[in-house]
Structure 1
Amino acid sequence: MTSCDLATILPRVLIVSRRTVRKNKFVNFVGEYHLDLIVGYGAVPVIVPRVTGVHMLLDSFEPIHGVLLCEGEDIDPSLYEAEMSVLSSEELEEIRQFHASDTAIDQEKDSIELRLAKLCLERNIPYLGICRGSQVLNVACGGTLYLDVEKEISKNGQEVNKVVHMDYNNYDGHRHDVKVLENTPLHDWFQDSLEDEKMELRVNSYHHQGVKRLAQRFVPMAFAPDGLIEGFYDPDAYNPEEGKFIMGLQFHPERMRHQDSDEFDYPGCPAAYKEFVKAVVAYQKKLNSSTNVPKGLKLDQEMENKRKIIVRSFSIARNMYATGCETPPSKLSVLEAGAEFLESNTALTIQQEKRLKQMGATVRNASSFLERLNKNEERERVARNIMGKMSIEQLCELRSFYHMMEQISSEVMERKLQDQVHEVSC
């Protein structure tokens, strides 16, 4: 099998890059640990560049079989209605100075990633959020974030269990404890490394923000000693074998490695990526099975000639309806071929016959068809008028809604068809 074949077959995981400055120029990057694991488990990472306007071009990245969102700057507080009054203006300025590289808001990255997160939630596309990616997921579902974990939690009387979540002097080596909850994916992945009583892991930490109010649909998987949620997932959207995976991890399991080594701290560290890609592969298969169209039958020459005559008949009838002109006597025999086909071909279903009538394949019920056509044109004119007054944001939300309805309709229709087949077989 060639590399081109693999690129076509393997599922696609979208990853949004982060922007930084190098040699006085903006550059985009993605951590290679993420890419290595995605490739290693059998998917193709597709990097979505953080450049102006990309949030309007996400349809161009279809098909999307999975989304992995990872590091980046703080999310714009206005997107989750942050309670700014909790911290004083002096404290906020101190945060900006101490975490200067993170507090520089990147609204373009916010727009791209929130759109992708909502798309995953609407279509049940597998989603893995690491660090900032977990925060994006929570915000997309209506949750909120701490503007600064250590300052805000300390105001809640948690000084006894204070945790350092960011150590710039020991960036990769810094660790703190988290307590893992039983009967969660995180517990399954790390169970061989957990003591029954403590149920604790030591994880890395590169953040000064985190989940404050967890969105209602999610369930926590781990807590830091100060009460911060370090992992969460949607139990109703978690079944990797069936293509379901919606999860956020505040820590970076891909970077939990021994110093000067690629050996992981725990055997379970890469499990999130392994199970995520498993879900991505299953989702691709499910998507392909719902969109596959059976190949047409090969016709012999005689059948092909008959097909051409019938197609021409339908074409002439359609032109009659469109122009309102009467059919020349020389064309009547051709029209009869289409009418005869509709009347005599018992293999056509009622739905197929209705569709052919609407295309102008017969003069029967022509007036009602034209009346319906005029109504549809009027509805289209009104819809275009209304949508012409909508903002780009509103139009994108509307399109996403109908994408979701299309997916739901396809799933329900497929289920009903399967039920019918089952009834017939019984």
Structure 2
Amino acid sequence: MSGRPQIAVTVSARSGWRIFPLVALNLWLAGGRARRWGAGRSADLEEVDGLIIGGGDDISPDLYDGQIVTSARLDPARDALERALVEAAIARGIPVLGICRGAQMINVALGGNLHQDAYGTYTASDRRWTILPKKRIAVEPGTRLAEIAGTAPMKVNALHSQAVDRLGADLVVAARDRGGMIQAVERIRDPFALGVQWHPEHLPYARRQRALFAALVAAARARRADVAQLSAVDVMARP
């Protein structure tokens, strides 16, 4: 297979019409090509080289035996699709990038759970609700995210009410905010999997945010070539 890596992108039935073009643009800039997926659409992992689980909608606590909160916006069909996709992608060696809800879904699919009321739990965290990069987070040194985007404090946007609690299998924390809330998780072995709590698709002008999409595309190319994905991402990240 030649040409740009094909990247499946799952989106919300509510907001996918406006979010997918942003993700597609970022993937194109990184050398990939986006394909829109969602509940009720064709979703065959054999046809793609990588997967993005997009943002929007809360994840039902039914997936991890949690308690529902009345403010949650749920989409059970999307939950079922994305959980199955993440599980299958990891099993088949397909790299995954999770955006906001997507980071949480990676964690849940790998056996972790979530804080339903993130800011009720982390009262010292700055509560933001904006697509503008106004929230400061700290990238954990020694992580792959640090190699990809650097260790300098990062300003990101925030549109979430849930957050990662107990980590899923083979995941480590890659970033936190000043209140201690987890802001990014990453997988420590192939295939590549990175989840960020913010929305990099809204920040294509920021080099560090574009690098997240470039890392996924590098991992997708590595899978095509049947070589180690994490090593390929590391090479891409070096100056």
For this structure pair, what is the TM-score category when the shorter chain's length is used for normalisation?
0.7 to 0.9
Structure 1, residues 387-413: CA drift from partner, whole Å, max 9, x if none? xxxxxxxxxxxxxxxxxxxxxxxxxxx
Aligned pair 1:81/2:65, yes or no?
yes
Match of 1:72, as an amino acid?
Answer: G
Inter-partner Cα distance in structure 2 for 1:29 and 1:176: 23
Q: Do the aligned residues in 1 keep the contact of 2:38 with 2:78 (CA within 8 Å)?
A: no
Distance 1:236 1:50, change over 3 A: same
> 1:15 Cα deviation (Å)?
0.9
Aligned pair 1:178/2:116, yes or no?
no
For 1:108, the equivalent position in structure 2 comes to 77
Q: Which has the higher contact order (CA 8 A, sep 6+)?
A: 2
Q: Do the aligned residues in 2 keep the contact of 1:150 with 1:208 (CA within 8 Å)?
A: yes
Normalised by the length of structure 1, the TM-score is 0.50
For 1:254, the equivalent position in structure 2 comes to 201
Structure 1, residues 306-341: CA drift from partner, whole Å, max 9, x if none? xxxxxxxxxxxxxxxxxxxxxxxxxxxxxxxxxxxx
For 1:201, the equivalent position in structure 2 comes to 154
Distance 1:185 1:144, change over 3 A: same
For 1:235, the equivalent position in structure 2 comes to 188
Structure 1, unaligned runs of 5 or more: 1-6, 22-26, 85-91, 97-102, 155-160, 195-199, 238-243, 257-261, 288-426
Inter-partner Cα distance in structure 1 for 2:185 and 2:34: 24
Inter-partner Cα distance in structure 1 for 2:133 and 2:208: 19
Inter-partner Cα distance in structure 2 for 1:216 and 1:227: 21
> 1:49 Cα deviation (Å)?
3.5
> Match for 1:65 among 31, 49, 53?
49
> 1:182 Cα deviation (Å)?
0.9
Inter-partner Cα distance in structure 2 for 1:278 and 1:139: 25
For 1:224, the equivalent position in structure 2 comes to 177
Match of 2:106, as an amino acid?
Answer: L
Percent identity, please: 25
Inter-partner Cα distance in structure 1 for 2:192 and 2:24: 18
Aligned pair 1:282/2:222, yes or no?
yes
Q: Do the aligned residues in 2 keep the contact of 1:222 with 1:231 (CA within 8 Å)?
A: yes
> 1:174 Cα deviation (Å)?
5.5
Structure 2, unaligned runs of 5 or more: 228-239
> Match for 1:20 among 5, 8, 14?
14
Instruction: Give the total of aligned pairs.
Output: 227
Inter-partner Cα distance in structure 1 for 2:5 and 2:149: 27
Q: Do the aligned residues in 2 keep the contact of 1:184 with 1:221 (CA within 8 Å)?
A: yes
Inter-partner Cα distance in structure 2 for 1:176 and 1:29: 23
Q: Do the aligned residues in 1 keep the contact of 2:149 with 2:212 (CA within 8 Å)?
A: no
Aligned pair 1:162/2:156, yes or no?
no
Q: Name the structure with the higher helix share.
A: 1
Inter-partner Cα distance in structure 2 for 1:117 and 1:10: 22
> 1:83 Cα deviation (Å)?
4.4
Q: Name the structure with the higher strand share.
A: 2
Question: Superposition RMSD on alpha carbons, in Å?
Answer: 2.3
Structure 1, residues 69-128: CA drift from partner, whole Å, max 9, x if none? 1112001111011146xxxxxxx44xx2xxxxxx22101111111111011111111100
For 2:230, the equivalent position in structure 1 comes to none
Per the alignment, in what secondary structure is the counterpart of residue 233 of structure 1?
Answer: strand
> 1:12 Cα deviation (Å)?
1.5
Inter-partner Cα distance in structure 2 for 1:82 and 1:76: 8
Match of 2:168, as an amino acid?
Answer: A
Inter-partner Cα distance in structure 2 for 1:263 and 1:64: 27
Inter-partner Cα distance in structure 1 for 2:137 and 2:11: 28
Aligned pair 1:128/2:97, yes or no?
yes
Q: Do the aligned residues in 2 keep the contact of 1:17 with 1:29 (CA within 8 Å)?
A: no
For 2:233, the equivalent position in structure 1 comes to none
Normalised by the length of structure 2, the TM-score is 0.85
